[in-house]
Amino acid sequence: MADSPPVLYIVGGGLSGISAAEVLSRGEGRPRKVVLLEARPRLGGRTSSYRESHDGQVHDTGQHLFMDAYVATRSLLKVLGTESRLTFLDPLSLYMMDRKEKLSFLELPLHNGQLGLLSGILMFPGLSFLSRLSMLKIARALPERESSVDHMDARTFLRNNGQTAEAIDKFWELLIVSATNLPSDQVSASLLVSVLRESLFSAGGPKTLGYNTVPLSELIGDPAMKLLTRRGVDIRCRTPVSRFLVHQNRLTGMQIGKDTRMLGPDDHVIVTVPPWSFEELFPSTEMNNPMIQNIVRLSKPSPILSVHLWFQEPVAVPMMTGFSEHDMHWVFNRDYMMGRALPAILPDKKLADFSYSGPLGDFYPGRMLSCVVSGARESLEEDDDELIEKARKTVLRLSPGSPDKKLVFARVIRERFATPIFSPGQGMWRPLAHSFLDNLWIAGDMQDTGLPATMEGAVRAGFQAAFEVEKRLERRLREDRKYQPGRGEPS
């Protein structure tokens, strides 16, 4: 190798960039320098938090859910020392409300494997018995290769495999839009198959859901800053990369702010930016490259909308409730999830008489609630007052004994560029870790992990790109040792 150690640049300090930096900074005394470049003031990307002026507390921009099957994410959090800040549901249980305002309770025992899934679905009162039976067919319908159904949308896949319209509209649609941030008729069926294989139909039985009990900035971004700094990573926030310099088959430099940084012969770059930012990094001479053109096909974003509500008095609602065929997809009791203790609410007669199928004790007092719409393209341009009223009415549907609860403040958060649109055929466009340039590597949502644009997908992509760089460095080191003078080899 060259006399100077290689510099390993990571462009983007979201989950994927943090994951890549964590891998590349392992061990002490390794001949390398790791530089993490992030345009925003802090690390974390879309797993971000903000300080709310209304109550002075730190809140997440939107609610993220974790799965027990997120093995890469959990391993990263373990290294960061924050895995214990996740709470997982055991059994997997949640409320679901349909458009007729029927509230049903779904519970999947985790200790019984697939038998727990079978019994939970058969006991779910939110669907007719025929629809419940149809849901049990899906496990046998999952193809061995996800790519074999990448040409069709998820809704078509479900219809082709015996799912009733009721099961799709009242159950599968909510699961799909929550996992992929796209409606079932717009997302690749291969992503649904991947999600199902790692969650409900995992070989060891259904995997449960979890949630963070501290703001995401405390879970990921802030501890990552501390860990990576301690390991010697050069972290530069507020440092956007605006252009790559390319010569022949190599990345030779980067425009960083007003400066141009030239790359050495052994330097590498991992890029983790979203697809809509990837094309902008390259000079016009590279625009016809097939990889760039494929990534351009992924550059349309799907938004997420969150409406945070603060009530003057606590409202009794479950910890999380999913809504099918509603304006809002989820209502989260943020006070309960974050461990903010509130005085108990005596069971209201109207609440006690309300038609539901779970224990009354699952309704917890909360002043701060969050309503979320995934794939929110149609709702994005509605004005704040209209969205707030829809969210308030959704909460009142869920807690009918609280019609007089006064809403004192609300915050609407529009994440216009939340995730890429992975429509049918996306597997042909998403690249693997190595790019068309010898020293440029792809991570982030773009990389073909087989998963939708989730936290787990981002972490896996960062890990994979970093592992590929490690292999390249090791191979180069072996080659240099082989030809060192004095060892009997050619000099």
* Residue list for the binding site: 16, 38-39, 241
Q: Are strands 7-11 and 268-271 parallel, antiparallel or unpaired?
A: parallel
Which tokens is 130 given?
């025929």
Which tokens is 217 given?
């900035």
How far apart, in Å, are the Cα atoms of 9 and each of 273, 353, 476, 477?
13, 60, 18, 19
Cα–Cα distance measured from residue 46 to residue 210, given in angstroms and rounded to the nearest whole number:
18
What burial class does residue 343 get, using C-beta atoms within 10 Å of its C-beta: 0-12 exposed, 13-18 middle, 19+ buried? exposed
Name 305's bridge partners. 373, 414
How far apart, in Å, are the Cα atoms of 349 and each of 62, 317, 407?
33, 15, 22
- Dihedral of CA 277/24/476/484: which sign? positive
In the chain, the amino acid numbered 183 is: P
Binding residues for substrate, as ranges, are 241
Name 364's bridge partners. 317
Cα–Cα distance measured from residue 185 to residue 152, given in angstroms and rounded to the nearest whole number:
9
Name 370's bridge partners. 308, 332
Which tokens is 298 given?
């992924």
Binding residues for FAD, as ranges, are 16, 38-39
Cα–Cα distance measured from residue 437 to residue 286, given in angstroms and rounded to the nearest whole number:
11
* Edge-to-edge strand list for the sheet holding 407-420: 103-108, 92-97, 320-323, 330-333, 364-374, 301-317, 407-420
